[in-house]
Homo-oligomer: A and B are copies of this chain.
Amino acid sequence: MTGTLTGSTVGTGGGTGDEEQRLARAALTYLAEPGDPALGALLEICEPGEVLAAIKAGQLPAAADWRIAAAGRHIAPAAARARHAALAQALGRWRLRLPDLPHDLVATCGNDIRLVCPSDPEWPGQLDELGPARPYALWLRGTVSLRSTTERSASMVGSRAASGYGAHVAGEIAADLAERDWAVVSGGAYGIDAAVHRGVLATGGTTITVLACGVDHAYPAGHDGLFTAIAASGLVISEWPPGSHPTRLRFLTRNRVIAALTKGTVIVEAGERSGALNTARHAAELNRPLMAVPGPVTSPQSAGCHRIIREWGGALVTCAADVLEMLVPLGEAASPELERSRLPAAERTRSEAASASAPLSRDDLDLDSLRVLDAFPARGGTGPATIARKAGVEIDTVIRCVGLLAGCGFIERGEQGWRLTRKAR
């Protein structure tokens, strides 16, 4: 598929109209910075091709007014006009970059660079949770499917100035996740990011690096070989078109994609002002599990991790099993053994997966587990000490039973501690 933008849509019957919209999205990645709220808002009411034509023409499409009003529902005509004016003004900003647009967009894709758009089957639906801030499109190097790879994925990020301890632990946890058939997503920096990718590559697993520059551009230059190795078995992806250079702001913009692509985010090491805390914040804002690896309290590189656990409610994780405990939907098999017998991901429903693990009914529970289950409040979460007191059992018993009860889908971990699932209420 050399020199085309169709990438993953091959064979899915994308017509000429679709192709035009995809080319328009490719063009938009040249004209606007990712996450631009004005462009995000415009793409919610106009086709990409219309937006591109409007930028070229220097004025919004005629239908934009009523679409703005429709999108805003009960918006007053004056407010709609104000929004229209703001968008028209943004057009001017984007027009400034028109000279950057390649004459032949199709030619910007080489043998190993392709584009994935929101309308493509390969688009990972979880990115849509970013709302108007979702990427306009993604540029990819690598052949595996972005969508199916990220269905079972965790992000792991951390300081560039990693300690030997942090790099070691990052590599170990990443390798263990890969061995359990989980993909790992990270940035492309020195330190923790590199340790994560190398840990996965050593096991032959799938790793994904999300760059803040074009996928043809190695930043840092010393990672040229690493990115090539990642693309050979995994993916190098970016919101910026080929040829783009990174900026400080782009790293921060990029972080929301790392968080949004994955089921949860693990911070391995982070100083008090590390960019990894920005990724952590995105994970928290997306309500995805946020995890952090502890370290010595004497190590500045662990200070951010400890803060995430202490103040942000992040979970303390020490190994891949801890990470998966936070990520695997309750009742779904977390062990590699059960997962080897996997169906194609799209066909596997949660209920099917749940039926693979036993026991599932109250009748199958031992007496201690029943006692512990009955001690849970009808609403809200609780901690093991309270349960132990109410159930009249040792806290150790509670801890043992909680594992079983969560595995059977009777309880789940919520923001406020363990709580009953709907099934158990």
Shortest Cβ gap from A267 to chain B (Å): 13
Across the interface, do B318 and A385 meet the contact criterion of CB distance under 8 Å? Answer: no
Across the interface, do A384 and B319 meet the contact criterion of CB distance under 8 Å? Answer: no
> Is A366 in the interface zone, CB < 8 Å from B?
no
Residues of B with C-beta under 8 A to A102: none
Restricting to A375-396, which residues have a CB under 8 Å from any CB of B? 379-386, 388-389, 394-396
The one of B303, B318, B385 that contacts A306, using a Cβ cutoff of 8 Å: B318
Residues 315-350 of A, flagged 1 when their CB comes within 8 A of B and 0 if not, give: 111110010000000000000000000000000000
Residues of B with C-beta under 8 A to A388: 284-285
> Is A230 in the interface zone, CB < 8 Å from B?
no
> Is A91 in the interface zone, CB < 8 Å from B?
no
Task: Report how many copies the assembly holds.
Answer: 2
Across the interface, do A297 and B306 meet the contact criterion of CB distance under 8 Å? Answer: no
Across the interface, do B312 and A416 meet the contact criterion of CB distance under 8 Å? Answer: no
Q: Which of A169, A298, A316, A417 has the most CB of B within 10 A?
A: A316
> Is A220 in the interface zone, CB < 8 Å from B?
no
Shortest Cβ gap from A372 to chain B (Å): 14
Across the interface, do B382 and A312 meet the contact criterion of CB distance under 8 Å? Answer: no
Residues of B with C-beta under 8 A to A396: 281
Residues of B with C-beta under 8 A to A298: 165, 168-169
Complex Cα–Cα for A388 and B311 (A): 13
Across the interface, do A318 and B293 meet the contact criterion of CB distance under 8 Å? Answer: no
> Is A296 in the interface zone, CB < 8 Å from B?
yes
Complex Cα–Cα for A310 and B381 (A): 15
Q: Which of A294, A386, A394, A417 has the most CB of B within 10 A?
A: A294
Across the interface, do A311 and B399 meet the contact criterion of CB distance under 8 Å? Answer: yes
> Is A415 in the interface zone, CB < 8 Å from B?
yes
The one of B169, B281, B395 that contacts A312, using a Cβ cutoff of 8 Å: B395
Complex Cα–Cα for A317 and B309 (A): 10
Residues 148-167 of A, flagged 1 when their CB comes within 8 A of B and 0 if not, give: 00000000000000000100
Complex Cα–Cα for A317 and B385 (A): 19
Restricting to A267-281, which residues have a CB under 8 Å from any CB of B? 281
A396's nearest neighbour on chain B, judged by CB, is B281
The one of B313, B318, B395, B399 that contacts A383, using a Cβ cutoff of 8 Å: B313
- Known A-B contacts A169-B298, A297-B294, A298-B169; the reply to A313 vs B389 at CB < 8 A is no
Residues of B with C-beta under 8 A to A319: 297
Residues of B with C-beta under 8 A to A59: none
> Is A287 in the interface zone, CB < 8 Å from B?
yes
Complex Cα–Cα for A128 and B220 (A): 63
A394's nearest neighbour on chain B, judged by CB, is B281
> Is A246 in the interface zone, CB < 8 Å from B?
no
Residues of B with C-beta under 8 A to A132: none
Give 23 pairs: A residue, B residue, CB < 8 Å, sorted on A: A168-B298, A281-B394, A285-B388, A285-B389, A287-B385, A294-B296, A294-B302, A294-B306, A294-B316, A297-B318, A303-B318, A306-B318, A309-B309, A310-B315, A310-B322, A312-B384, A313-B417, A316-B316, A380-B380, A380-B381, A381-B416, A382-B416, A416-B417
Across the interface, do B297 and A296 meet the contact criterion of CB distance under 8 Å? Answer: no
> Is A110 in the interface zone, CB < 8 Å from B?
no
10 nearest A-B pairs in the assembled complex, by CB-CB distance: A294-B294, A416-B416, A297-B318, A313-B383, A284-B385, A383-B415, A380-B380, A309-B316, A310-B316, A381-B416
Residues of B with C-beta under 8 A to A313: 383-385, 417
> Is A295 in the interface zone, CB < 8 Å from B?
yes
Across the interface, do B312 and A385 meet the contact criterion of CB distance under 8 Å? Answer: yes
Across the interface, do B312 and A415 meet the contact criterion of CB distance under 8 Å? Answer: no
Shortest Cβ gap from A407 to chain B (Å): 14
Across the interface, do A380 and B416 meet the contact criterion of CB distance under 8 Å? Answer: yes
Shortest Cβ gap from A365 to chain B (Å): 20
Residues of B with C-beta under 8 A to A379: 380
Residues of B with C-beta under 8 A to A309: 294, 309, 316
Across the interface, do A285 and B385 meet the contact criterion of CB distance under 8 Å? Answer: yes
Residues 388-411 of A, flagged 1 when their CB comes within 8 A of B and 0 if not, give: 110000111001001000000000
- Known A-B contacts A284-B395, A415-B382, A415-B386; the reply to A316 vs B306 at CB < 8 A is yes
